[in-house]
Structure formats: C-alpha cells, structure tokens
Amino acid sequence: MVRSVNGTPIHSARELSSIIRPSAGKALTFVVDRGGRDQTLTITPIASQLPQLDSTGAAVKDAAGKVATVTAGYVGITNVPVTELQRQPVSAVPGIVWQGVSQTAGVVLQLPQKLVGVAQAAFGSGSGTSTARSR
C-alpha cells in the first residue's frame, strides 16, 4: 500500500494518480507498506499514452465517441489486493469440478424460466383481453 509520494500522504487511487500522471520522467519518492513495515522507494514514471481524465476521474471521449488519450506519467502498480495461488492436491480436483458443473447446471436449468419471464415482460402474457372494439 502506498502511504505517501514526495511527502504527500496518499488516501486514494485518485490522489496517487494526480501525482504520477504529470510526473513522466521525474523521480518520485514513494513510502510503501510492505508486510507492516514502511519502505522508501524511488520510482520514475514513464511517459505513456493514457486516457484523458475529467475532473471526476472519468475518461473523456472525443466527438467520435472514442476515449481521448494524453501523454502522461505511468507506474506499473495497482491498488488491487494481491492474491496468492495455492497448490491443491489431486484429490481436490473432483470436488472443484463438481462445484463448477453443478453451478453451470443450475444456470442452465433456470434459463427457460428466465426466458419465459423475459417474453412475458416484452410481449405480455397472452392471457389479457383486447381493448379494441369493432363498430
């Protein structure tokens, strides 16, 4: 987790991005938490074509509807928690396969019922009476 950059405390990904993006080619001092201990790193963002962002952090689109890009600083880090893969014994395979098959079967068995509901919502149930009258 990034604690600060150049002495500025970091509380969100947007704060981190606002420091990194305008800093292409400039060395930045990061303080990060690694295993409960602070570690100081010097990182220089590279110049990269990235989406242009508006004041809310959303990507800006051009007149053609494509995401506009700008040259900005980039560091290959993420704020997504790191997951660790763990080896499983061969004896765990049947249970994992059964779980996948049963979840898929549950979806497949519910699909006709869902389609009936969609058809009824789109076209009516077919049991209503007509409001048109002949004269």
Neighbour-count burial for 5-22, b at 16+ CB within 10 Å, e otherwise: beeeebeeeeebbbbbbe
pLDDT digits (tens, 9 = 90+) for 36-95: 899 999 999 999 998 898 888 888 998 899 999 999 999 987 655 666 778 889 999 999
The predicted structure's pLDDT at residue 7: 95
How many Å apart are CA 60 and CA 53, to the nearest integer? Answer: 6
Report the C-alpha gap between 91 and 87 in whole angstroms. 12
What's the pLDDT score for residue 125? 65
